[in-house]
Chain A
Amino acid sequence: MCLAVPGRVESISTEGDLRLGRVNFGGIVKTVCLDYVPEIEVGDYTVVHVGFALSKLDQESAEKTLEIFRQMGMLQEELAGEEEAFARAAQMAPSACPDGSCDPA
């Protein structure tokens, strides 16, 4: 859960009370809250965790990290949508209670 993914800020906007950015993670673009990184500008790379930019990263490092995450298959997991999460859960067997008395089967 503490996985954080670096991406490039493509645009910045203010929506209501939030400063938001469109951040590109190697082709996948997400809207990210920039309130914790007031110094961030368009073109910067930022480390993002659950929709929040946590720190500014230099470009070389970001590209490097992205490539490795792609390698490790971790990017898909961090950015998985609801459908994917449920699909993954559906593949797992139902939980049983510890003593087996409530076997869901």
Chain B
Amino acid sequence: MKYLTEFRNGEIAQRIAQQIHQITTRPWKIMEVCGGQTHSIIKNGIDQMLPSGIELVHGPGCPVCVTPLELIDRALAIAARPGVIFCSFGDMLRVPGTEGDLFQIKGAGGDVRVVYSPLDAVELAVKNPDKQVVFFGVGFETTAPANAMSVHLAKRRGLKNFSLLVSHVLVPPAIEAILQSPGNQIQGFLAAGHVCTVMGYWQYPPLATKFGVPIVVTGFEPLDLLEGIRRVVAQLESGRSEVENAYERAVTFEGNQAAQQLLNEVFAVTDRAWRGIGVIPQSGWKLSEAYRDFDAELRFDLTGIHTIESPLCHAGEVLIGTLKPDACPAFGKECTPRHPLGATMVSSEGACAAYYNYGRFLSAEDLAGAGSGLTDIAHG
């Protein structure tokens, strides 16, 4: 287990962190796009190992968080219908809509199911021919191949009672939107490793060149993250803006060709509204013409839904990195994981939930002496 121990070894983490300290001569702002990476960073205290000038800005890579409230409300309306089996991943259950959430719909008699895979929803459609089975297909490029396959199978098997409520979003247009936003301060990116497992990283060189930012494909473990940060800082310090792959064991430049082929068949690129951010052109997928019969938004009458966003929730600013979760006036007060105002406090990948769950609601004095996550890496 030598290799394993080394990989989790706090000493190695310290060594990479030391290298980052050595090469850093001025402040840099780096965004990790993926919410899974945000969680790992906060949980392991990686941000606290860095030079004080290196700021990690948490990006919008939490699919549950950026799913528009309008769509959550539509999901709730469909799930409440008699004769519908509404299937979702577990982290959608408690995301608040304008009135209630999926868990409450289930409590009130709605047939809401949590599935591990979209294929489970297809099976439910086969077994329940007298019901309409709807799968809530949210996610980034990582989840899209699974959702695409479910619709593909439903079509191939001639299922008339399966449909997808789609809210797919794409990482590269989000990076471009952030870089183009007035007042952008992000100087380098950690690209989301598992998105790149599917898509490769051929989409990034034009962005790195156009905006002069380094982009490093990065994994999720503490040493992966530190190495990704080290490579971004090294590029920034030497004035380079290239695309690098620091997650080679899982990611190739081309990505998964078979998956990309089916994605291109099942989905078509479309403008998408991101919750808290607004519409980003060409930033998502909808079902293509060939698959429109499987679009839940076309299958069900969804008129008469009135969506109201909480005025207290600043999730939009958190999602684009202009507000740290603990700087939000509602953080830890009106808004907690038990009483979330926005999805960023619900999802396991939401930045607000990460800050709350890992003690960032405590003051600096509270934290003093408590030790950082590095202790866990070193002794875990």
Residue ranges of A at the interface with B (Cβ–Cβ < 8 Å): 1-4, 6, 17-18, 30, 33, 35-38, 47, 49-52, 54-55, 57-58, 60-61, 63-65, 67-68, 71-72, 77, 79-82, 84-86, 88-90, 92-99, 102, 104
A37: B residues at CB distance < 8 A? 256, 258
The answer for the CA separation of A85 and B256 in the assembled complex, in Å, is 30
Across the A-B interface, give the 10 residue pairs with the lowest CB-CB distance, nearest first. Answer: A51-B117, A85-B90, A98-B310, A95-B96, A61-B249, A89-B93, A95-B101, A82-B114, A2-B142, A85-B114
Given contact pairs A2-B194, A51-B120, enumerate 18 new A-B contacts (beta carbons under 8 Å).
Answer: A1-B36, A2-B34, A2-B192, A18-B119, A36-B258, A51-B118, A52-B117, A63-B3, A65-B219, A65-B221, A72-B43, A82-B113, A82-B116, A86-B90, A92-B94, A95-B94, A98-B341, A102-B99
Chain A, residue nearest B196 (CB) = A55
Which residues of B lie under 8 Å from residue A6 when comparing CB positions? 250
B interface residues, how many (CB within 8 angstroms) = 82
Residue pairs across A and B with CB atoms within 8 Å: the count is 186
Which residues of chain A are within 8 angstroms of B149 by Cβ–Cβ distance?
A: 33, 35-36, 52
**Complex CA distance for A80 and B348, rounded to whole angstroms:** 13
Instruction: Determine the distance from Cα of A67 to Cα of B9 in the docked complex, in whole angstroms.
Output: 12
Q: How far is the CB of B379 from the nearest CB of chain A, in Å? A: 11
A17 and B114 contact, CB distance less than 8 A: no
**Contact: B8 with A4, CB < 8 Å?**
no
Q: Is the CB of B116 within 8 A of A79?
A: yes
C-alpha gap A64/B96 in the complex (Å): 37
Which of A36, A68, A84, A96 is the one whose CB lies under 8 Å from B256?
Answer: A36
Report the separation of the CA atoms of residues A87 and B249 in the bound assembly, to the nearest whole angstrom. 35
Knowing A36-B256, A64-B4, A72-B40 touch, does A89 contact B94 (C-beta < 8 A)? yes
A-B contact pairs, 20 of them (CB 8 A): A2-B61, A2-B194, A18-B119, A33-B146, A36-B145, A49-B142, A50-B117, A52-B149, A64-B4, A67-B4, A67-B8, A68-B222, A79-B116, A81-B116, A95-B100, A95-B101, A96-B96, A97-B100, A98-B312, A102-B99
B3 touches A60 (CB 8 A): yes
User: Chain A nearest CB: distance from B264 CB in Å?
Assistant: 13
Closest Cβ of chain B to A40, distance in Å, is: 11
Find out whether the CB atom of A54 lies under 8 angstroms from the CB atom of B194: yes
CB A87 to nearest CB in B, in angstroms, measures 10
A67 to B2, CA, bound (A): 12
Which of A51, A77, A85 has the most CB atoms of chain B within a 10 A radius of its CB? A85
* Complex Cα–Cα for A10 and B306 (A): 50
Q: What chain A residues lie within 8 Å of B98 (beta carbons)?
A: 97-98
In chain B, positions 326-347 with a C-beta closer than 8 Å to chain A are: 337-341, 346-347
Measured CB to CB, the closest approach of chain B to A102, in angstroms, equals: 5
A89 B103 Cβ-Cβ under 8 A: yes
A50 adjacent to B104 (CB under 8 Å): no
